[in-house]
Amino acid sequence: MVRRAAAAADLGVLDAEIAECFACPRLVEWREEVARVKRAAFRDQVYWGRPIPGFGNADAEIGILGLAPAAHGGNRTGRLFTGDRSGDVLFAALHRAGLANQALSVSIDDGLELRNTRIFPAVRCAPPDNKPTPTERDTCAPWFHRELELIRPTLKVVVALGAFAWGAWWPAMSAVYKVKAPVPRPKFGHGALVSLPGVPDLLGCFHVSQQNTFTGRLTPAMLDDVFARAKSLAGLA
């Protein structure tokens, strides 16, 4: 799998390779079981039930790093943050920021297009309880690292959605940019910013999970601030 990731010459090849990955037995079983059993509301739909590639521009200045696809969101529709409440919140914010052509994100063929932005998860398969194990995180890392390598020429800032994504950034940064992570590692926080020479800026943002958005821990205004800042750091505003 590491070799397949490293050999992917472009994002199209990488995306296709990712969709064929079966490296984590627990996650393969889970993604397929969810796709088989389904949620009642989606009973008539055919779930994707496979790993999820990144989504967005190959020459993105802004990267958005998430945790993993949602069982009945990305794992159902085949596109990250698509067909669930987290995506509704995220894409509405990206649309307000001018980074998406529409706020609607319901299916892979809904016409959504990103601008200057690519979204990718640290782990490509939906995990039970949204919690990949450390082994699963590390097993999946080569896909993320290769994606990062391929968009490296234009990438200026990475928005880490939540502490898991924040933590996944450091080994990726070392692997791709050959820059050692600071010790101790900078702490995740909403609005936390790490600027190191030679690597994209890292900007922390609470995850767009329902837990955060329903409770008001993360508001649309807070997301607007994050994406305005990301655009500014990326030289887009």
Point out which residues bind ligand SF4 (CB under 6 A): 18, 21-24, 27-28, 51, 123-125, 136, 139-140, 143
**Closest approach of ligand SF4 to the CB of residue 226, in Å:** 26
Whose tokens are 């914010």? That residue is: 93
The region that residue 173 occupies, defined by phi over 0 for left and psi between -120 and 50 for alpha, beta otherwise, is: alpha
Output the CA torsion sign for 232, 207, 46, 44: negative
CB nearer ligand SF4, residue 14 or residue 208: 14
**Closest approach of ligand SF4 to the CB of residue 68, in Å:** 7
CB nearer ligand SF4, residue 61 or residue 136: 136
- 190 touches 218 (CB < 8 A): yes
CB nearer ligand SF4, residue 38 or residue 50: 50
**Closest approach of ligand SF4 to the CB of residue 129, in Å:** 15
Both tokens of 111, joined, read: 């016409």
SS3 label, residue 201: strand
**Closest approach of ligand SF4 to the CB of residue 77, in Å:** 17
| Alpha carbons within 13 A on the beta-carbon side of 9 | 0
CB nearer ligand SF4, residue 48 or residue 206: 48
**Closest approach of ligand SF4 to the CB of residue 139, in Å:** 5
CB nearer ligand SF4, residue 21 or residue 223: 21
Sheet holding 55-56, edge to edge: 55-56, 117-121, 62-66, 157-161, 201-205, 193-194
